[in-house]
Amino acid sequence: MMSKNTDSSNIKARTVLYIEDNKASMLLMETLLARIPGVTMLGAENGKAGITLAERHLPDAILLDINLPDMNGFDILGHLQVETSTENIPVIAVTARTAPEDMERGLRSGFFAYLTKPINIQEVIETLKRSWQETPEKK
């Protein structure tokens, strides 16, 4: 008799906030994150809404576009870093800004990782999993 391991009790529920103004990119990320068991995605189309969702839901990770209509990703990151409730949430840049100086600035600014578009699905998944391993558990 073959038995399938259907015990999902070891799957930890995770929330990922994606702050992105491009609807196609948002839909793509939603589809990608649906592949990871236990992961729920929240979406915000601009920086102000993203900050509000981050403070309200305290996600396990934030995927952040740099070029948004109301604020840039660096300003959003700076805001999240000074707020006590959100300062330890890993923020991952997901952006079309691929110049080496942009990447350097991103990592110096405190992004957990700096991923470029078009996205590499495996890289996104691996980066999220690494962020969860390297980030202290929420209280």
Cα separation of 133 and 64, whole Å? 19
* φ, ψ of residue 40 in degrees (nearest 5): -115, 135
Residue 8 lies inside a defined structural domain of this protein: no
Cα separation of 103 and 74, whole Å? 12
Write the CA distances from 108 to 1, 74, 112, integer angstroms. 55, 11, 10
pLDDT for res 83 = 94
Residues of the chain with pLDDT under 50: 1-8, 139
Residue 9 lies inside a defined structural domain of this protein: no
Residue 117 lies inside a defined structural domain of this protein: yes
Cα separation of 1 and 48, whole Å? 55
Domain carrying residue 44: 14-134
Supply the pTM of this predicted model: 0.90
Task: Count how many domains the chain has.
Answer: 1
pLDDT for res 11 = 73
CATH of the domain at 105: 3.40.50.2300
Residue 98 lies inside a defined structural domain of this protein: yes
pLDDT for res 6 = 42
Residue 2 lies inside a defined structural domain of this protein: no
